[in-house]
Structure 1
């Protein structure tokens, strides 16, 4: 099986699973630990397997799981399982917003969500500088 080196998704700033990749510190890291975002350029060199990407992006050709008629499926925990856990269990706090974000996408559309996320990313870039 060959490794895909090109960008596969239109918006690598949002994971197929709903993770806000564009707000992750590894997205802005320089060097070998940098992550290009979900299915971004050379993503599969760092993350060769992901069952959600396999199902959502590779098999169904979708950008995010919220676009799937089967969402939410067995691949996801209950929303409260993401939200109600202690912060110490999370190395990446936006993980808690996966289900709420996917529900926003399902209800209001991917483009609208991406525009809001891009505004938040711009604010983060200002803070980082």
Structure 2
């Protein structure tokens, strides 16, 4: 594949929130630049979705294609990779109805929340959990959880456990399972 660049590599052509993927937040060789980010074509030399877009309407996001929803999107995917695919259709709807700039604004806020959690409530094994949780929970729910987390009066060794507990509780209240499906 030739070089492929996009304005917002944190939200992919196929609807993944690349900015909330563990590989996007990794240092080293396995780091992914996001969809259409710098040297994307070297990390992902073939991508059937990009090929499809070029063969159809050459859109920035699949939901903009005249063939959407194509067979790939008629049903929610039941498998995940490094990142969850659970909200792809919902996220497309949000981006379409609110506008891509507003959706990217919310996604950027979610990325900042993820980074805050990693910097302040990480015991060394929480990246996948936080990526999944921040990806699946609504921004209002994340703001509420952050407020609760920041009001915690616990010792340092307990703060990560308490933060994870509050996130899991919010997910359970919303009937959201915070696990990748393989």
Q: Would you say same fold, with TM above 0.5?
A: yes
Asked whether the 8 Å contact 1:11–1:63 carries over to 2, the reply is no
Task: Please report the RMSD computed on the Cα atoms of aligned residues, expressed in angstroms.
Answer: 1.9
Please state if 1:120 is matched with 2:116. Answer: no
Report the CA distance shift for 1:93/1:3 in structure 2 as closer, same or farther (over 3 A): closer
Gap runs ≥5 in structure 1: none
Total equivalences in the alignment: 118
Asked whether the 8 Å contact 1:16–1:38 carries over to 2, the reply is yes
Asked whether the 8 Å contact 1:52–1:75 carries over to 2, the reply is no
SS in structure 1 of the partner of residue 16 of structure 2: coil
Asked whether the 8 Å contact 2:21–2:83 carries over to 1, the reply is no
Matched with 1:33 is 30
Q: CA deviation at 1:120?
A: 0.2
Computing the radius of gyration over CA atoms, which structure comes out larger, 1 or 2?
2
Gap runs ≥5 in structure 2: 120-182
Return the structure number with greater relative CO, CA threshold 8 A, min gap 6. Answer: 1
Cα separation, 1, equivalents of 2:74 and 2:20 = 22
Report the CA distance shift for 1:123/1:65 in structure 2 as closer, same or farther (over 3 A): same
TM-score (norm 2): 0.58
